[in-house]
Amino acid sequence: MASAPLIHARCAYSPRFTANRRNGSLSSSSSSSSSSSSSCCSSSSLGFSSGTNNNWRNQGLRAQAMSTTTQGNFGSSRGIANGKNEPDHLLVLVHGILASPSDWTYVEAELKKRLGRKFLIYASSSNTYTKTFAGIDGAGKRLAEEVMQVVQKTESLKRISFLAHSLGGLFARYAVAVLYSPHSLGNAKPNDLAESAMLNLQTAYSSKRGMIAGLEPINFITLATPHLGVRGKKQLPFLLGVPLLEKLAAPIAPIFAGRTGSQLFLTDGKPDKPPLLLRMASDCEDGKFISALGAFRSRILYANVSYDHMVGWRTSSIRRETELFKPPRRSLDGYKHVVDVDYCPAISSDGPHFPPEAAKAKEAAQNEPSTKNTVEYHDIMEEEMIHGLQQLGWKKVDVSFHSAMWPFFAHNNIHVKNEWLHNAGVGVVAHVADSLKQQESSQFITASL
């Protein structure tokens, strides 16, 4: 299969809000591309078919209609009602496996300094610790419900972005499909001419690409997320690429990580049914996953090129083995350990498929997990998932902690889980913040032209 072309550029809810003040400068860039639908091994892939998903979508469509009713006590994070200082951009932070909102303590503080008060930063708390083992789909639905609660209680919100770490990126991908609606409600009322121009721009964009939780989707950013699962050579690096360990890991994973484990190793479901991660690379009966991601103006992947013991470079950057390259050793100016940025345009594709040989390979991998069987199954699945996800354009940011004091903490360094232990990642967080700021600023610049 031909490699995807790359335009290479070297260089129990507990709501937690943070209202921000403006500071910092613009220096990074982001890309956007159009979305397209794909088929997912199913003749019913054009929309939702389950009552549960329809119910979630209806909640999303009602988000702005319910915005005139304020519920709960959110006074500390909200400005004067309908005032200029009230936040209108919701940034949802989603933690990874066996984690909690406290993982974002440093990031929240840094974003507070670098972003303007128009951002409402919310660290998700619906999938803490062992709840992350209950399945990507279950966690995604809980996250979607949590986001809807925030939207319904904060009437000033107009835009939404996601920043997710590790497994949280898969939760967020599922959640945005649950929250996706294909058309703008267009019921916001501008206060002045500038805001009216911005609203017209947003409405034109949103009516074409759709909305997330009734809001205009702006940024979807993941940090070291296993988008292609963890099955295959060095996709789960702490197994050291040893074939025997990788063969044994798949049947053992559900014991330690529950339903989530089988989904990450692509062994979930019956042999004749595509695994969840393959379905999530398409628009299918489970949800419009590609359309939802395609609604965002910018999709950015941050990936550790080495020293990440949990998530491999290929899966976190959505690349084939042949697309990996020797990363630069020098960091980009102003962003220590950020070594490279790729702008990858969308590639036309008919989307992922689950052919009969894939079903046979899956059954063999489930029943007789020999090295040959598991490799064959993984190769088929990886290629099909890439086919689906490359229908969208991605900005891929490569991170290398080779010169850090503790490089083997790369998985936690990339989002500074602990300010003292993982502070090698402060340059990455700065890059994320500036990417968010630039996308926000570009909207206002465009609206003023």
pLDDT in tens, the chain (449 residues): 443 333 333 334 444 444 443 333 333 333 444 433 334 444 333 333 333 344 444 444 433 333 333 333 333 333 334 456 789 999 999 999 989 999 999 999 999 899 988 999 999 999 999 999 999 999 999 999 999 999 999 999 999 999 999 999 999 999 999 999 997 544 444 455 455 555 555 444 444 689 999 999 999 999 999 999 987 665 665 455 556 565 666 667 677 778 898 999 898 888 889 999 999 999 999 999 999 999 999 999 999 999 998 899 999 999 999 999 998 989 999 999 999 999 999 999 888 999 888 888 888 877 776 666 677 888 889 999 999 999 999 999 999 999 998 898 999 999 999 988 899 999 999 999 999 998 876 665 444 43
For residue 145, the surrounding DSSP H or E stretch is helix 136-153
Q: What are the C-alpha distances in Å from 245 to residues 238, 250, 252, 355, 370?
A: 10, 9, 10, 28, 11
Strand partners, 223: 165, 302
- Of the candidates 371, 376, 377, the residue with the CA atom closest to the CA atom of residue 266: 377
pTM of structure = 0.77
For residue 360, the surrounding DSSP H or E stretch is helix 356-367
Instruction: Tell me the residue length of the chain.
Output: 449
Domain architecture of the chain: domains with CATH: 89-184+199-232+280-350+390-442 (3.40.50.1820)
Rounded to whole angstroms, how far apart are CA atoms 140 and 174?
A: 5
Phi-psi region of 258 (alpha: psi -120 to 50; beta: other; left: phi over 0): left
